[in-house]
């Protein structure tokens, strides 16, 4: 059996502070997490048993978005911020199954994610995948990174994905600035796809989940519908607009009978004119 993360040689990891990507990994059944992440995950599941269903629905949303952008919108370049730990199919696997020449840049700031990305996110022989080790709160560092500039052609449309990540930025204005600053360098015809945490459908247990994340050192911010919509200001929303992620263009791959109160994410895709 492969050892858990804390039993492997150190790679500069913070094992004393929970990390969103590793909590997500634990709840989805992964093994790349630490005791503090498992504690956060277990406590959160006790407080809100729907958390695993919610996270699975969010992952399914990413899959549908990737297929939509690649197969229906003709996008061949993708930029994924807040990548998380690899769980197949990853974004590049979906995009390159549509067109093997598709290019993908991943970004995250956790050393464990970085190690896995370099090992597993190799892509096809004719496509390209790259990884930028950076904090999304510093978008200039991301968009000036050689891996970004050498992989993506900014004269051609890009699919920008921020899936379940802006809730780690506490301030609304800062979160909006980060998204806008990256969008500004992308050409017309690019798309923004986001899922955004909300507590509007089951606020009482989600308040407890938020306190648990905060207690263990991780930020978790819920946003209402008007605040979530603000991320798409000036863009053309794709039908059905901003909805809970399990309601965005369902294709039959989602778990049946999902209750609205069990999903704490809005999702949408919009085009930059």
Q: Match domain 5-271 to its CATH number in 2.60.40.350, 3.40.50.150, 3.40.640.10, 3.30.1320.10.
A: 3.40.50.150
Domain segments of the chain as ranges: 5-271
Which pTM was predicted? 0.88
Of 108 and 180, the structure prediction assigns the larger pLDDT to: 180
pLDDT band at 120 (very low <50, low <70, confident <90, very high): low
Cα–Cα distance, 1 to 231 (Å, whole number): 43
Q: How far apart are CA 59 and CA 53, in angstroms?
A: 10
Kindly report, residue by residue over 48-70, the tens digit of the pLDDT: 999 999 999 999 999 999 999 99
What mean pLDDT do residues 31-37 have? 86
Q: pLDDT tens across 91-113, in order?
A: 989 999 999 999 999 988 877 77
DSSP code of residue 247: G
pLDDT-derived band at 126, boundaries 50, 70, 90? low
- C-alpha torsion sign, points 169, 192, 161, 149: negative
Q: Which residue has better confidence, 131 or 102?
A: 102
Q: Please say whether the beta carbons of 259 and 179 come within 8 A.
A: no
| DSSP code string of 89-111 | SPHHHHHHHH-TT-EEEEEE--H
Q: What percent of the chain has pLDDT over 70?
A: 91
Tokens 């309601």 label which residue?
A: 247
Q: What is the model's pLDDT at position 189? A: 98
Question: Could you give the C-alpha distances from 246 to 43, 85, 110, 222, 257, in angstroms and in order?
Answer: 24, 22, 28, 18, 10
């Amino acid at each position: 059996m492969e050892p858990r993360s804390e039993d492997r040689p150190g790679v500069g990891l913070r094992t004393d502070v929970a990390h969103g990507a590793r909590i997500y990994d634990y709840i989805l059944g992964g093994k790349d997490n630490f005791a503090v992440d498992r504690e956060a995950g277990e406590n959160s599941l006790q407080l809100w048993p729907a958390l695993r269903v919610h996270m699975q629905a969010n992952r399914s949303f990413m899959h549908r978005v990737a297929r939509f952008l690649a197969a229906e919108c003709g996008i061949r370049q993708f930029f994924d911020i807040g990548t998380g730990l690899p769980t197949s199919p990853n974004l590049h696997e979906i995009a390159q199954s549509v067109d093997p020449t598709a290019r993908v840049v991943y970004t995250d700031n956790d050393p464990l994610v970085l190690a896995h990305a370099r090992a597993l996110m190799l892509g096809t022989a004719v496509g390209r995948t790259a990884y930028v080790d950076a904090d999304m709160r510093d978008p200039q560092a991301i968009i000036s990174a050689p891996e970004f500039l050498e992989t993506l052609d900014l004269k051609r449309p890009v699919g920008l994905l921020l899936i379940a990540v802006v809730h780690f930025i506490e301030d609304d204005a800062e979160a909006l600035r980060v998204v806008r600053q990256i969008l500004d360098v992308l050409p017309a015809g690019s798309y923004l796809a986001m899922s955004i945490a909300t507590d509007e459908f089951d606020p009482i247990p989600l308040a407890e989940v938020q306190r648990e994340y905060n207690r263990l050192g991780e930020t978790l911010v819920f946003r209402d519908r008007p605040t979530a919509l603000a991320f798409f200001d000036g863009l053309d929303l794709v039908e059905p607009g901003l909805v809970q992620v399990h309601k965005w263009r369902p294709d039959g791959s989602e778990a049946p009978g999902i209750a609205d109160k069990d999903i704490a994410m809005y999702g949408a895709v919009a085009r930059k004119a």
